[in-house]
Structure 1
């Protein structure tokens, strides 16, 4: 298949400067999007309970988030492929801005539930446009064979770094406010109890969201698109979604990617469900366990960032992106085995081994992601790129939700950890046989089919 005239490979300084500019902007967008969400990780549940919400109500808020994200995941991915990446990504920022404002100022249950639903919608809108924009831009500048893994790795590392920084900052801000005599009382008095110390991270996140939306609108240019009517959108989105759902049935490699995403969801759901309890057991109290878990979560994001940064090196040492995924997922399985083997043990050696296993899980997941996504983008063209990423995200979320229910139902002890380790090992073994172009049921590798967006070095 030959490339269209507008997609001819560009070489020389112009192509290099365009790729580098796209990479920098993708990294910046990834960091700015996830930093506000990281700010809410540590204080969110405490803020809700401080507002008088029961744990059952808090669980309902999180269910509203998950259900909204799951329902909208594919439609919003299709929307991005139809009307453009920048518009959808900016809309995600606006929805998150509304959600964080409601978190910071809301006092009624329905307001907080609405905030969680808005954040779920923002999460669904954001699950593909930025990465799709980056891949579209690089391939338009440098051709379909351009290096994608490096930029994807740096974007993933920026995401993890934003979550790590946000988690630490969001946990520390209320504590720091409490250290200043009278500051917490003044916040309550001047705002009629609308702003609590625990509200400050969410409100700071809302300010960052404004910066994010402005940056997206200014820094992510796209080529002109054919104007679409509401009827055209309503007709185009379902067709794009249907194509996305068929991806895994007609392409062996994409099926492996989707199954691996589900396995990653299993690992994340298990570790996020069981680690807080283990932290509380180690410290002897729920409050100190929460502090320890916040530190562990931040450390996990750092390990994920490191794994993403090392992804290109892992691929070079392994010999291919497919082998890199195999090695990375095997490392995740080994980390879960360590966590399961130490769950009934006490003492410093067991704690050290458990911490090593925790870090290994996130390191392996971080290293696997960029190689998986580069392989995905080699198989999917621009017209369905965001939808493919949404299908991948949906696989992670749905399998993760089921795995979380299963881990909670299994007897306490090593069994939930070992079960998750088996799932990850099975996912790693999927990559033991290399998949060539001939195995993808007649699908041909796509080429860029759009003119290069006007991206300048910056």
Structure 2
């Protein structure tokens, strides 16, 4: 197989595995909360389910990244797929609180396992075929765009499928039998997610080969995983560029938390009632994923024009401006304010979509294969922690422009980190800023 063919094959397989993993999650976005409600769960119980998911993902994020670096990418992806399959089955068919809570916790474990192995497999494969200086950004951008597209399609299908079947949710009419019916209309998209997960598992097992690794026994895993995690944390602590990337990921998490927490209520206010607002928000979420996919597709162009580091600065700055527009229009009604708010919403996702591939291209040139998945897990952990903290602050602030301004300030702070570039490279590594700036000139 020639080098060009190997690179195209790796990109195609990375895009496919990204779609197959994220499509089930998209299918569950729209019906999940309504399904819990129709099962008779209270709002407090539903909040507990989501807390179980988030806490499990945070606790397991770093150890599971280390497992990927020790045991291999494919083994961890298969485990993530199996956990997601079990989680979607429990969520779709569960009728009691403890089953649903367990399903969400298992889903969080699958999310933690999946936060790096596929991307690490792609980078390992490309660098094995074309050397350490191989182009990574194009494939990373396509994978990110594919992820956003899968989430967009999944959200639309998951929200529309019960209605297309003539089985739209009517909690008032069916709540009395919610605990006796095993399969409810809103279960169908989640069950479909489980079916797609089976396809994901088959594809990973058949299409993602990786170099053989030495056998890893229990003693080796217990010894090597903590050491790998420690090295990943040290990298973020001592390498200026990696620290900047991690802080930027946290800023993106704060922006996303702001948009995701405030947009449903704003959609309901615009629509006039909660039910119509939920449909409007599903459309907005889909549009956001489409804008994110477009931003990811444009990431290589942005890097060629501005250089990798400056492209991140511009992209995050655009997202911060989008949040400023949302803040400025928070208390106004009418066609013009709503149009400006729509532009702001699009800018947030477009900017975050364009920043991600360029940040990760820089990250992968800074870390070794032995710690690649761990570095991605640290990045994911930073995003989740700042998102959680920002969400708490946003929830405590009064309604109006102030919560939106907080999200904008967090993202603007992440953008400002990229004003200064060209720090000395870490020992034994090329200077990614200079390399990418040269490629962009």
**TMscore range, shorter length:** over 0.9
**Structure 1 contact 265–400 (Cα < 8 Å) conserved:** yes
Distance in 2, Cα, partners of 1:177 & 1:433: 55
Residue 391 (1) aligns with residue 378 (2):
yes
Offset of residue 446 of structure 1? 10
Q: CA deviation at 1:375?
A: 0.1
Matched with 2:362 is: 375
Deviation string 1:66-103 (CA, Å, 9 cap, x unpaired) is 00000000000000000000000011000000001111
- The equivalent of 1:416 in structure 2 is 403
2:422–2:431 CA contact under 8 A, matched in 1: no
What SS does structure 2 have at the residue aligned with 1:435?
coil
Paired position in structure 2 for 1:433: 420
Q: Conserved in 1, the CA contact under 8 Å of 2:425 and 2:431?
A: no
Structure 2 gaps of 5+ residues are 433-441
Give the Cα separation in 2 of the matches to 1:446 and 1:328. Answer: 21
The CA deviation at 1:56 is 0.5
Q: What's 2:435 paired with?
A: none
Distance in 1 of aligned mates of 2:224 and 2:340: 51
Who is 1:322 aligned against? 309
* TM-score, normalised via structure 2 length: 0.94
User: Are 2:298 and 1:310 aligned?
Assistant: yes
Among 322, 343, 360, which residue is 1:356 paired with?
343
Instruction: Choose from 203, 207, 215 the match for 2:203.
Output: 215
Distance in 2 between residues matched to 1:298 and 1:68, nearest whole Å: 27
Q: Distance in 1 between matches of 2:429 and 2:110?
A: 33
8 Å Cα contact 1:65-1:120 kept in structure 2: yes
- TM-score, length-normalised on structure 1? 0.91
- Secondary structure at the aligned position of 1:197 is classed as coil
For 1:334, which of 317, 321, 324 is the aligned residue? 321
- Residue in 2 that maps onto 1:170: 158
| 2:94 alignment partner, one of 106, 111, 133 | 106
Answering whether residue 234 of structure 2 is matched by residue 249 of structure 1, we say no
1:139 to 127, 130, 143: 127
Kept after mapping to 1: 8 A contact 2:326/2:345: yes
Task: Give the drift of 1:435.
Answer: 2.6
Q: Give a deviation string over 1:359-396, Cα, whole Å, max 9, x none.
A: 10000000000000000000001000000000000000
1:445 offset after TM fit, Å?
3.9
C-alpha change, 1:261 and 1:446, in structure 2 (3 Å) is: same
> 1:390-432: CA deviations, max 9, x gaps?
0000000000000000111112111111122122112111111
What is the CA–CA distance in structure 2 between the aligned matches of 1:109 and 1:169, rounded to whole Å?
26
Map Cα deviations across residues 46-76 of structure 1 (whole Å, 9 max, x no partner): 0000000001000000000000000000000
Which runs of 4 or more aligned residues in structure 1 lie more than 3 Å from their structure 2 counterparts after TM superposition? none
Tell whether the 8 Å contact from 2:144 to 2:296 is kept in structure 1 after alignment.
yes
Give the Cα–Cα distance (whole angstroms) in 1 for the partners of residues 325 and 161 of structure 2: 34
* Structure 2: distance between partners of 1:381 and 1:446: 14
Q: Contact between 2:28 and 2:190, CA under 8 Å: does it hold in 1? A: yes
Q: Residue 66 of structure 2 corresponds to which residue in structure 1?
A: 78
Q: Give the RMSD, CA atoms, in angstroms.
A: 1.7
Q: For the Cα contact (< 8 Å) 2:167–2:185, is it kept in 1?
A: no
Query: For 2:425 and 2:146, how far apart are their aligned partners in 1?
Result: 34
Change (3 A) 1:85 1:158: same
1:66 has 2:54 as partner: yes
Q: Which runs of 5+ in 1 are unaligned?
A: 1-12, 448-458
Three-state SS of the structure 1 residue aligned to 2:354 is: helix
Q: Does 1:224 align with 2:209?
A: no
Q: Of the candidates 371, 393, 396, which is equivalent to residue 406 of structure 1?
A: 393
1:21 paired residue number: 9
Tell me how many residue pairs correspond in the alignment. Answer: 425
Check whether the contact 1:53–1:109 (CA below 8 A) recurs between aligned residues: yes
Match of 2:436 in 1: none
